[in-house]
Amino acid sequence: MSILSNLKGREELWSPAEGINISIKSLTVEEGLKFMSLIDDETSQEKRAEGINQLIYNTLKKSIPDATDEEINTMGIEHLTSLMDVIKKVNNMESEEASKVDKIKDIQQRFREQRKKK
């Protein structure tokens, strides 16, 4: 094994509700590259919202392998902000790019609200 085997991702604890503690795992380089368009100013709001949904889904499936699609899709939106904060932290996205991620969270929230109205 090379020295790179020591550079595996890390985990961060997410506590969305009292008594619920979930270890959120960071993305690998391969997984993270799929989401690079999220911080591109030329990416449409719809594509960003879809990307955020996929980022959340992938992160939750990696962190909680036995979570069902239904459980993930019916999770209350009130937990979204705290989850995104942990995803940013565990993936070291808390930098100048963090404001772009915050914009993406806002876009996603508006996207979900629009879907609920339909």
pLDDT tens digits, 86-116: 998 898 876 555 566 676 777 777 777 777 7
- Model-wide pTM > 0.95: no
What is the amino acid identity at position 42?
E
Tokens describing residue 71: 């459980």
